[in-house]
Amino acid sequence: MSSARTTSRTVTKTLPKQRLWTGTRAIAEAVKLADVDVIAAYPIRPYTGVMNSLAKMLADGEFMAEIIVADSEHSQFEIAKHASAVGARTFVGSSGVGLAYAAEPIIVTALGQLPVVAIAGCRALDDPGNFGMEWNDVFMFRDHGWLMSWAKDPQEALDMTLVAYRVSEDHSVLLPHFVAVDGAAITHVSTLVEPPEGDKVDKFLPPYKPMFPLDPSFGPVTKAQHIAPSLIGPELRKVVDNSISKSRDVIRHAWTTYSKVSGRNYPDFIECVDMDDAEIALVTMGAYSKDVIHVARKLRKQGVKSGVVRLRYFRPFPSEELTNALKNIKAVGVIDFSYGYGSPDSASVLFNDLRSTLYASGSRPAMMDFMFVGGREPSVEHFEQAFKLLQKNANKGLSEKQIIWPTLKGETS
């Protein structure tokens, strides 16, 4: 310290330009950086802020795009779908029941092989008009050909949005992409965000070039005509299936390339924390994974061999990565914000996908499901309790109760 003060030389270090942005604002900045052409908006909490930000940017001339204030989410997703078919880069989004209202266009967008990017601000489905956070709104479309990634904070939400365009528009993929952000916990919470430089993004994301644009200058393309299922029904399904399979390599490559754009290194499909020698692990996604990691590290200091796996992508599901990460684990728990009434064990969606993945693997750890449903917020105590129950399972074998609703009042777990 003292020598630094006495030296005559000045050391100048340029700090990266950081901004204090909410998740929705950070995503809006990504949309601007991506030079999106057509945006379709309709309000529903908690995603709305992204459209508020974009509308103001456009009103201030920060970039050029058509923003359509639609009459419904159904129209919103149709607008994006058809603008994409012409060759525009498009952006759309919704939350909760808004996504349910838009179900029809959402499903056909993937079948139309259109690289629409949508933000989903995760929100519980009605009734009641629940402002709480659940994943079932996005999970409605888990089987329909949309790529799905889950951000942990505003920075990653911005980065994921840019990478989403890159992956979706790759001609070997051409599928739409949900960037899911947990309602309130990301959409409405401000953290420091460092946007990448515009010229680097331009190189990373050149303008979208459709293979078969719906444009008279290209020729008379007929798209999605009515057909007899016996003619090409299974083949149409297979096209989407092949595309989502191919997206795995494209995703890996895109994040490698993006690390050079942003200077940030992300793992591609899953993030592993302290998993090398872990005996018990919690698997989760989204904003609360940071709290889960905090608890795991605290327990490490007490001698518990705890680890955390965070999925960054839910579709395509990172089966191979999860199988490898969990191969030496004795007991694994899922911190999940979804439900699957009447599904196997009436467990959560993520739990059942993970259990299905591990069925094929050599290791079959004990599994527990911690379902944070109905929008009531979890606390770090819940995650501590989850690790403790896992530890008990790891030592004594599977407990009777595997499916737990930690925030449910009146139930002891």
| Residue 57 is a binding residue for other proteins (CB under 8 A) | no
Phi/psi for 268 (5° steps) reads -80, -70
Site for other proteins in 206-245 (CB under 8 A): 207, 214-228, 231-232
Closest CA to 258 of 321, 195, 209: 195
At closest approach, how far in Å is the CB of 205 from other proteins?
Answer: 13
Q: How far apart are CA 403 and CA 408, in angstroms?
A: 12
Which of 19, 74, 144, 376 is close enough to bind other proteins by CB under 8 A? Answer: 74
At closest approach, how far in Å is the CB of 40 from other proteins?
Answer: 7
At closest approach, how far in Å is the CB of 213 from other proteins?
Answer: 8
Nearer to other proteins, 221 or 380 (CB): 221
Nearer to other proteins, 230 or 302 (CB): 230
| Residue 80 is a binding residue for other proteins (CB under 8 A) | yes
Nearer to other proteins, 75 or 407 (CB): 75
Nearer to other proteins, 235 or 411 (CB): 235
Here the tokens at position 75 are 């129209």
In whole angstroms, how far apart are CA 143 and each of 40, 106, 315?
24, 12, 9
Q: How many CB atoms lie within 10 A of CB 223?
A: 11
Q: How far apart are CA 299 and CA 322, in angstroms?
A: 22
Dihedral over Cα of 177, 178, 181, 187: its sign: positive
Q: How far apart are CA 120 and CA 377, in angstroms?
A: 19
Which of 78, 156, 182, 321 is close enough to bind other proteins by CB under 8 A? Answer: 78
Q: Are 340 and 346 in contact (CB under 8 A)?
A: yes
Here the tokens at position 210 are 């459709």
Number of residues that bind other proteins (CB under 8 A): 47
- x/- mask, other proteins, residues 114-143, rule CB under 8 A, reads ------------------------------
At closest approach, how far in Å is the CB of 77 from other proteins?
Answer: 8
Nearer to other proteins, 38 or 311 (CB): 38
Site for other proteins in 337-396 (CB under 8 A): none
Classify residue 124 as left (phi > 0), alpha (psi -120 to 50) or beta: beta
At closest approach, how far in Å is the CB of 210 from other proteins?
Answer: 10
- x/- mask, other proteins, residues 82-121, rule CB under 8 A, reads xxxxxxx---------------xx--x---x---------
Single-letter amino acid, residue 357: T
Single-letter amino acid, residue 167: V
At closest approach, how far in Å is the CB of 85 from other proteins?
Answer: 6
Site for other proteins in 11-40 (CB under 8 A): 35, 37-38, 40
Secondary structure class of 18 (helix, strand, coil) = coil
At closest approach, how far in Å is the CB of 312 from other proteins?
Answer: 30
Nearer to other proteins, 14 or 217 (CB): 217
User: DSSP character for 378?
Assistant: P
In whole angstroms, how far apart are CA 30 and each of 54, 165, 237, 277?
10, 10, 31, 37
Length of the chain: 413
Single-letter amino acid, residue 172: S
- x/- mask, other proteins, residues 168-207, rule CB under 8 A, reads ---------------------------------------x
At closest approach, how far in Å is the CB of 130 from other proteins?
Answer: 25
Nearer to other proteins, 20 or 69 (CB): 69
Q: Residue 36: CB partners within 8 Å, gap ≥ 6? A: 65, 89, 90, 91
Please give the order of strands across the beta sheet that includes 306-311.
Answer: 270-273, 306-311, 280-285, 331-336, 366-371, 403-404
Binding site for other proteins (CB under 8 A): 35, 37-38, 40, 64-66, 68, 70-72, 74-76, 78-88, 104-105, 108, 112, 207, 214-228, 231-232
